[in-house]
């Protein structure tokens, strides 16, 4: 009641002690947990729960067990040559381990080189579009238009330009990863805090200083978001490019395996491509935690 609260406050002010708040009243028979000392932060770190990793593992094991027991074959009326069993895929991977490992490294090299080149070009486009919006703004539209061209149309063109070596697949990946970096980096450079920009102008900071200390730093979280998108997109571009003109790589082996009906070997290529994509993504995520650990999203 308001009257009781006023009385408690008055009593507390007379004896010099703080009056308890209404929500702090202790229930009889219930022990209250002591509060932390003032000025001392609670440094307890939440313990990692095994359920976060256990449940996905159980789901994966259940999925593989149903697959091995041919439950999906019965549900979708599939034959074993259409959907090989996990045991057959594992056997194919074991029998062709050295070949698969070599081709995975080749495809991953194409993906990494293409992603680095495409991301660098996209960042330069974003830089020009921010620095000279009147002349460079249209470059974002051109990059978006290039990204809309399907890989099956780019592959023959790149093969004519760069030959049937690794250069044509690197060029395909470069073209497919440029737009994500350009759009994200431009967003990060443009969306700066107006107060920070005014502060830089009040100090008579040059345009180069504004870019160096404000715009580029603000764009780094967006840049790493684009890199994580490109990490998986580059693997797709490299594998699809190998479908058309290549004598090595997972895409080449996958295409040939399907032609000669070696489906377990083809599925082995798919499994290794997925594993390589995940490793590539985790490597970029690790770099993000290393380079922008000052950002609030990484400190949470």
Q: List, in order, residues 6 or more apart from 42 with CB less than 8 Å away.
A: 36
The whole-number pLDDT of residue 22 equals 41
pLDDT tens digits for 3-30?
Answer: 444 444 444 444 444 444 444 444 454 4
- What rounded mean pLDDT belongs to the chain? 82
pTM of the entire structure?
0.75
User: What letter does residue 23 receive in the DSSP assignment?
Assistant: G
The whole-number pLDDT of residue 239 equals 92
- Distance (Å, whole) CA 164 – CA 172: 12
Domains identified in the chain and CATH numbers: 103-291 (1.10.3720.10)
Residue 146 has pLDDT above 90, yes or no: no
pLDDT bin (cut points 50, 70, 90) of residue 300 is low
* Two tokens, residue 82: 């259409």
The whole-number pLDDT of residue 150 equals 85
The closest alpha carbon to 252, from 266, 264, 262, belongs to 266
The whole-number pLDDT of residue 264 equals 93
pLDDT bin (cut points 50, 70, 90) of residue 136 is confident
The whole-number pLDDT of residue 14 equals 43
Residue 91 has pLDDT above 80, yes or no: yes
Q: Are 238 and 111 in contact (CB under 8 A)?
A: yes
Which H or E run includes 179? helix 166-190
Residue 224 has pLDDT above 60, yes or no: yes
Using a 10 angstrom Cβ sphere, with 0-12 exposed, 13-18 middle and 19 or more buried, the burial of residue 136 is middle
**Average pLDDT of span 185-210:** 91
**Average pLDDT of span 54-70:** 91
* Two tokens, residue 216: 């580029």
3-state SS class at 204: coil
Question: Crossing angle, helix 166-190 and helix 151-162, to 10 degrees?
Answer: 120
Q: Name the phi and psi angles at 82, rounded to 5.
A: -80, -40
Q: List, in order, residues 6 or more apart from 84 with CB less than 8 Å away.
A: 92, 263, 264, 267
The whole-number pLDDT of residue 247 equals 84
């Amino acid at each position: 009641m308001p009257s009781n609260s006023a009385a408690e406050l008055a009593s507390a002010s007379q004896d010099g002690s703080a009056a308890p708040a209404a929500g702090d009243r202790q229930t009889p028979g219930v022990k209250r947990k002591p509060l932390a000392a003032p000025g001392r932060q609670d440094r307890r770190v939440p313990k990692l729960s095994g359920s976060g990793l256990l449940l996905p593992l159980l789901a994966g094991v259940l999925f593989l067990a149903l697959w091995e027991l041919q439950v999906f074959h019965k549900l979708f009326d599939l034959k074993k040559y259409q959907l090989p069993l996990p045991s057959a895929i594992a056997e194919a991977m074991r029998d062709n381990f050295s070949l698969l490992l070599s081709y995975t490294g080749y495809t991953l090299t194409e993906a990494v080189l293409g992603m680095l080149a495409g991301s660098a070009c996209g960042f330069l486009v974003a830089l020009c579009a921010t620095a000279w919006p009147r002349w460079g703004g249209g470059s974002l539209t051109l990059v978006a238009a290039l990204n809309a061209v399907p890989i099956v149309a780019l592959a023959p063109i790149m093969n004519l330009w760069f030959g049937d070596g690794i250069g044509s697949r690197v060029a395909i990946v470069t073209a497919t990863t440029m737009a994500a970096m350009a759009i994200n980096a431009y967003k990060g450079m443009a969306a700066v805090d107006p107060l920070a920009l005014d502060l830089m102008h009040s100090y008579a900071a040059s345009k180069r200083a504004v870019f160096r200390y404000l715009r580029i730093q603000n764009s780094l979280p967006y840049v790493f978001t684009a890199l994580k998108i490109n990490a998986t997109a580059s693997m797709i571009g490299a594998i699809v490019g190998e479908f058309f003109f290549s004598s090595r790589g997972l895409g080449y082996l996958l295409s040939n395996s399907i032609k000669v009906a070696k489906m377990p070997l083809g599925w082995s290529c798919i499994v290794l491509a997925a594993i390589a994509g995940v490793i590539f993504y985790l490597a970029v995520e690790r770099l993000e935690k290393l380079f922008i650990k000052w950002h609030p999203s990484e400190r949470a």
